[in-house]
């Protein structure tokens, strides 16, 4: 009988030795309760490195961002083109772009974030010159899955007026269709977004 009592006491002391006690502070509760969502419009400038001479192109995006504590999801539609006229032959378009975001400092007035995810999109670069020219470059087209990355800073995340500044990169991953001369380089953009 004493053997069983000693075993039970040893077991209880081991459980007590390895048990961890946590004190929950007010800050922990506040961090867990950081939760917001907003719709935004994004304006910026970017370029495609698939062209022999990369040129700056305006970009436009519309999206919705959800955040809970240190993690968020960003869903958006994005367009970047040399010209927003129909028939422009140099552009990048993604619908939808889905990013998983990680906020490094979610409680500060300027929260740094980074993220990654997939999108379905199109990238095209125009034909340069005539087929008879020595420097002729054929038009390139890609349609398929892109891998997306972002790095930015969200300004005033706890206020009703929110904005962010970011840098995005889109890289062609798996083509549903593409030209023989493949698109192998990324599309990059810097942008400013404001919530409404």
Contact call for residues 96 and 77 (beta carbons, < 8 A): yes
Q: Which domains does the chain have, with CATH numbers?
A: 35-195 (2.40.160.20)
Strand ranges inside 49-162, DSSP E? 57-68, 71-81, 91-103, 110-125, 140-155
Please write the tens of the pLDDT for every residue from 122-146.
Answer: 888 766 655 566 565 567 778 889 9
pTM of the model: 0.72
Q: What is the pLDDT of residues 71-121, one digit of tens each?
A: 999 999 998 887 666 555 677 888 899 999 999 988 788 889 999 999 999
Indicate if the pLDDT at residue 66 is higher than 80: yes
């Amino acid at each position: 009988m004493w053997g069983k009592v000693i075993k039970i006491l040893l077991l209880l002391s081991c459980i007590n030795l390895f048990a961890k006690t946590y004190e929950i502070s007010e800050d922990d509760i506040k961090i867990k309760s950081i939760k917001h969502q907003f719709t935004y419009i994004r304006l910026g400038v970017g370029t495609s490195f698939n062209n022999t001479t990369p040129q700056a192109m305006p970009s436009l995006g519309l999206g919705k961002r959800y955040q809970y504590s240190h993690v968020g999801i960003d869903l958006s539609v994005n367009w970047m083109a040399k010209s927003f006229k129909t028939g422009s032959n140099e552009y990048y378009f993604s619908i939808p772009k889905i990013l998983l975001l990680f906020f490094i400092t979610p409680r500060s007035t300027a929260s740094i974030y980074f993220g990654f995810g997939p999108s379905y999109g199109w990238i095209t670069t125009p034909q340069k010159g005539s087929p008879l020219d020595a420097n002729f470059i054929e038009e390139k087209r890609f349609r398929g899955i892109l891998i997306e990355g972002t790095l930015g800073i969200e300004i005033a995340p706890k206020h009703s007026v929110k904005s962010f500044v970011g840098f995005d990169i889109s890289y062609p991953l798996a083509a549903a269709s593409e030209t023989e001369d493949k698109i192998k380089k990324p599309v990059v953009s810097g942008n400013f977004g404001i919530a409404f």
